[in-house]
Structure formats: structure tokens, C-alpha cells
Copies of this chain bind each other. A is one copy, B any other.
Amino acid sequence: GGAAGAAVAQTAADGDPNILNLPEHSKGLGQPVAAEGYGKPSKFETNVQRRPSPGLTQTAQASVSFAPLQSLFGIVTPSGLHFERHHQGWWDIDPSKHRLMVNGSDAALLKRPLVFTMDELMRLPSVSRFHFIECGANTGMEWGNVAVPTCQYTHGMLSCSEFTGVPLRVLFDLCGVDYKRARYVLAEGADGSSMTRTVPMELVESGEVFVAYGQNGEMLRPEQGYPLRLVVPGVQGVSWVKYLRRLEVGDQPYGTKDETIHYIDLMPGGLHRQYTSTQECKSVVTTPSGGQVLLDKGYYQISGLAWSGRGKVRRVDLTTDGGRNWRTARLQDPVMSKCLTRFTLDWQWDGKPAIIQSRATDETGYVQPGTRQLRAVRGTRSIYHNNAIQSWLVEESGEVRNVQLA
């Protein structure tokens, strides 16, 4: 193991050659504007990629690629690094041909079923909001044991963007939905899987759910559902139906494949919890984190992400001694509801083994549980909704390892 090519300042007696010998870029003429009409990251950043986890899925179209959380700053996920979860592959759909239909399970549930073009949807009143999206299966590989080495793989089915779109309530009002009877919404995609999920009408009535076309200032990316996806803040990603083609209102939940065969949580005793949707309060330290090597003893800023599907993060506590003693971290502004919150804390590493954990509390008072507390209630076979406290062991060598504690 050990650090791969740490750049140690080669300071000769009179100074650093990187200072004494002026670099080419200080002595020449650089590249023109609009060399790229749409720019790319530096060539020195090619290690920062989204990646699938080998062996996790048997196909690449019903699969996952994970966001490299260990290399991200702040709360916004660059759209090029947004995690992917497809069930039947992704498409780049012509928006001029895309349609959204709104109908009822029976005709009496609304006054008129409507069809919208993208031109029409983009004319309607819109909102822009920052929200996290987390797959219900995020950290699912870790219910029983440590399975993967880095936070890209443990927590990387998580991203956060500024989404823009039309509150679903606006569309439903246009259709004359009977909110008394219509307590459930079915969302359906236009891809091969025509992904379907049931959403509670309460979240539509609150104004929170919207049909989004924008993400981080531009249109959604094809991998994230271009030109239209549902945004269901606080709820697991599978409900944020991509390539959204249809919304149906009904008086019963729909028991779709991804709420009857998957995204059901196996409890001790053999019952499955069905329609588990909320992403409960959770956090993870991203710096330092598994697979990294600290270059030196001394000061580090511990940094990570916290979020809750029930509202704002209220507090994050950090320990470096495996949970005996905790300190409260700084929360970075802005702290927004159902959005990632970045936290930081100062740490002097003395070079001895240390176990770092973070524990988030949300505005409802819910406290992120430890692995043992979570397992005591839910066992280890739920697959979904693992929001346990993550532990990183910093070894004397500086190597950081993913561990679970007794």
C-alpha cells in the first residue's frame, strides 16, 4: 500500500524548482476562448469518474454507476458525475416528440385527462429547488458486512442538484383532480422498463413534488431522464421516474414491480415492508474515507455530507475514537430541506489508529442509528434503507479502511 506519488515539494537549498524555474504557462500564450463551447474538467481530474461496482449486477443496462463522493466538494453534484441507475438502459429522447399524459385510474378521478408537450410544460410556472436524490439501495451491500472499499461504492448512489420544473399540483389542478378520492399517484417512464412507482398525494398537495426538466441550470442529462423526470424530495430515487411519460391518479397504490418485488425491505421474521419510500436521516464522512492514504500526521479537516428525507439536518456529531466521544461539526450554509448539507470539523491526527464516524440528527429529532441499533430492529437482510453510521479506520500507515464495529 502507501501513497501513490504524493507530490512532495522538492525544495533545493535555494528553493522549489517549480517556483525558481518559471513554468511554461507563465511564459507563453494559452488557449483561446470557446475552445470548447461546452467545457470539460482538467485532464488531471480523470480519476474523478462515476463507476459501476464489479460483480454487483449481471448486466450493464440494469445496473448502477456510483458518484465519486470522495472527490466532491460542497453540496452540488456535477451533472457529469451524477450517479446512474437504469433498469433497461438510458436514452437520449427527442424533446420535441416527448409527451406527458395525466389520467385517472377511473374517469371520475379527474375532470379531463390532459396531454402536454415539452413546449407547454416549460411555459408553466416553475420552481427551482436544491434536493438530494438517493437510491433506496444505497449502502445496501453493507447490511451484513463490509463489502466495498470506498465511499464511492458504499454511499455513491447519492447526488444533489438544483432541479427546475413545474409543481405537479399545477398539472393536477388543470386536470381537475378530485383530491378527496385520488390519494395515490402512479408515475410512469417512457423507457423500455416503463418504470412505475406510486407516490402519495400528500407530497403533491404540499407542493413539493414537481416534474423537472432542469438540473443544475441546464436540461436534465439523458442518464437522468432527459427531457422530463419526477422529483419527489426526500423519497428514494426509484420514485423519481425518468423519461416521465404519464401520471395517473388513483384511489389505491399500484403494487408495481419496484414496490412489490424490489424496494421491499425484508424484516426479521420474514415479512417484507412494502412502500418504504422515505430516505431517513443519514450521513457519511467523505474526507478522509476508505481507500485513501493520509499523506502526513497533523491537521486535517474532516468533511462529509448529511441529509434527511424528512426535512433539514439539524446537527452532525463526529467521533474519531470509534464512538466513545463526539464533537458537533460545523454545518455549511445553506442548510436546505431534503438537501445535502456539508459538514466540517477540525482534527489533529496524531498518527495513531483512529476510527471516524459521523452521526446526523434531523429537524424531527430523528438520530441516525449505529449499525447495531439498526440491525437490532431490522436485521441484516433488508437490502434497502441502510442509513447506519459509517466507520472509517485510519491506520498508522495513513491508509483508511471501511470497517464495521462490534
Contact = CB atoms under 8 A, between A and B. Distances in A.
Interface of A: 6-7, 9, 16, 18-19, 23, 25-45, 48-52, 59-61, 63-65, 71-82, 84-86, 88-99, 101, 115, 117-119, 123-130, 162-164, 190-192, 194, 213-214, 216-219, 221-223, 226-227, 243, 245, 295, 299-301, 303, 332-334, 336, 342, 344, 346
A303 to B, nearest CB: 7
A38 B81 contact: yes
A82 B227 CA distance: 22
Contacts of A75: 128, 162, 217
27 contacts: A7-B96, A7-B119, A9-B99, A18-B97, A29-B89, A29-B192, A30-B86, A33-B90, A36-B223, A38-B80, A39-B50, A41-B218, A41-B221, A42-B226, A44-B96, A72-B218, A73-B214, A73-B218, A74-B164, A75-B128, A76-B162, A81-B218, A119-B295, A125-B301, A126-B303, A128-B342, A130-B334
B78 A301 contact: no
A9 to B, nearest CB: 5
Contact of A334 (B31, B334, B344): B334
A25 B192 contact: yes
A127 B19 CA distance: 27
A33 B45 contact: no
A287 B131 CA distance: 24
B73 A30 contact: no
Residue of A39, A50, A79, A346 ringed by the most chain B CB atoms within 10 A:
A39
Contacts of A85: 33
A74 B60 CA distance: 33
B7 A34 contact: no
Nearest to A82: B39
Interface centre among A30, A124, A163 (most CB of B within 10 A): A30
B38 A123 contact: no
A119 B26 contact: no
Contacts of A35: 90
Nearest to A342: B128
A253 to B, nearest CB: 24
A79 B218 CA distance: 10
Contacts of A9: 99, 115, 117
A33 B76 contact: no
Contacts of A86: 30, 32-33
B125 A89 contact: no
A163 B333 CA distance: 12
A117 B64 CA distance: 36
Contacts of A115: 9, 16, 19
Contacts of A344: 125-126
A25 to B, nearest CB: 4
A19 B101 contact: yes
A43 to B, nearest CB: 6
Contact of A346 (B41, B118, B125, B301): B125
Given A19-B99, A39-B81, A124-B301, 15 more contacts: A16-B99, A18-B98, A25-B93, A25-B190, A26-B191, A30-B192, A33-B85, A34-B49, A34-B60, A34-B84, A38-B80, A41-B218, A42-B227, A72-B217, A76-B217
